[in-house]
């Protein structure tokens, strides 16, 4: 049970004001009651609620023993504490896992007030954490559910050898051959001059000087 938790009595061990202080003393309950005067969020433990309820009841009983003036003072105390009283009831309902709107049950004469006291007497439930501003630590210190336990450093992994390329790795693909440039066609050779041919024998004979003694046909006179 949450009520069995006892916190170390020093400021570092006390939870924030929006968290319940389980096992609160009388002075701690009154201090949180005053500081959370108009705070309707968060939670309040049973000890916080019942110490305040006991103190207010005792004040009203004492003041009512005073004739005339006691009634006036009791009325003034009731007006001054009505807002923080509703606030601590709402926070107590949150700690029990209920919505704060159930505090409206107290508006019903007698039966509603009795039902509200019964709800306020219920023990704390983990579901009440949904009304906190932030989630509670996942690894609390024993005896203080709001102090985070020191984290152990994570073991470092041993260094690993550098990765070597696989032996059966496929060879890299050869680059595609570049397309061959078209070769320029050779220019046609210039026409060669025709070699002079030998003149026919008749032309040579015609151009040769003739011997007057030799007649045509090769006969001499």
**Domain segments of the chain as ranges:** 19-133
CB 47 within 8 A of CB 27: no
Q: What is the pLDDT along the chain (221 residues), one digit of tens a residue?
A: 434 444 434 545 688 888 999 999 999 999 999 999 999 999 999 999 999 999 999 999 999 999 889 999 999 999 999 999 999 999 999 999 999 999 999 999 999 999 999 999 999 999 888 888 765 454 455 555 545 455 565 566 666 655 555 444 455 555 565 556 555 555 555 555 545 444 444 444 445 455 555 555 544 44
CA distance 77 to 60: 8
Distance of CA 137 to the CA centre of its chain: 18
Residue 146: enclosing H or E segment and its boundaries?
strand 144-148
Q: What pTM does this model have?
A: 0.55
CA distance 37 to 56: 14
Strand partners for 219: 215
């Amino acid at each position: 049970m949450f009520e069995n938790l006892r916190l170390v009595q020093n400021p570092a061990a006390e939870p924030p004001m929006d968290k319940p202080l389980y096992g609160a003393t009388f002075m701690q309950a009154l201090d949180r009651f005053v500081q959370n005067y108009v705070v309707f969020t968060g939670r309040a433990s049973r000890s916080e609620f019942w110490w305040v309820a006991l103190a207010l009841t005792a004040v009203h009983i004492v003041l009512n023993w005073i004739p005339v003036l006691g009634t006036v003072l009791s009325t003034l105390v009731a007006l001054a504490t009505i807002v923080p009283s509703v606030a601590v009831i709402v926070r107590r309902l949150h700690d029990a896992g209920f919505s704060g709107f159930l505090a409206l049950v107290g508006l019903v004469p007698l039966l509603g007030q009795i039902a509200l006291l019964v709800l306020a007497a219920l023990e704390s439930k983990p579901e009440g954490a949904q009304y906190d501003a932030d989630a509670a630590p996942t690894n609390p210190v024993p005896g203080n559910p709001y102090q985070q336990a020191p984290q152990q450093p994570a073991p470092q992994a041993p260094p690993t050898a550098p990765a070597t390329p696989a032996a059966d790795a496929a060879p890299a693909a050869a680059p595609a051959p570049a397309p061959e440039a078209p070769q320029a066609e050779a220019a046609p050779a210039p026409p060669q001059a025709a070699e002079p041919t030998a003149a026919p024998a008749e032309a040579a004979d015609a151009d040769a000087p003739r011997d007057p003694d030799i007649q045509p046909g090769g006969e001499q006179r």
